Amino acid sequence: MSIQLPLPASWAGNLQSRRDPGDRLDELVQDKLDAKAEIRAILDRLAEKYGVPVRDVHDAVGWIDDGLEDLLYDIELGFHHEMEDVNPV
């Protein structure tokens, strides 16, 4: 017989928190940049295909940028707080 452990295991969450919050913040910033680039490429393809003005694409990218910032604000703020806890000023 084998034992089935519930997922996620309680120790799994601790692995993420052991990583340096500065490294995780850097990774988050890079992931946001990558997401923006991918979304921009998709919008550019749609704009070219359907004749959408460049200005409209630029506006849409601005809205998406704001949305990504709103979406990830609390997580980014948490990394900043963790960094302050590790390296108090």
Domain ranges of the chain: 20-86
Q: What is the CA radius of gyration of the chain?
A: 19
- How many other CB atoms are there within 10 angstroms of residue 47's CB atom? 16
Alpha helices for 1-89 (secondary structure H): 12-18, 21-50, 54-86
Closest CA to 39 of 12, 54, 57, 20: 57
Q: Going from the first residue of the chain to its last (89 residues), give the mean pLDDT of each consecutive group of 10, the final group possibly shorter.
A: 65 64 96 97 98 97 97 96 80
- Give me the pLDDT at residue 3, please: 72
Instruction: Take residue 73 and report the two structure tokens written for it.
Output: 């604000």
* C-alpha pair distances (Å), 12 with each of 32, 48, 78, 81: 24, 45, 19, 22
- Give me the pLDDT at residue 15, please: 54
The DSSP output letter for 28 is H
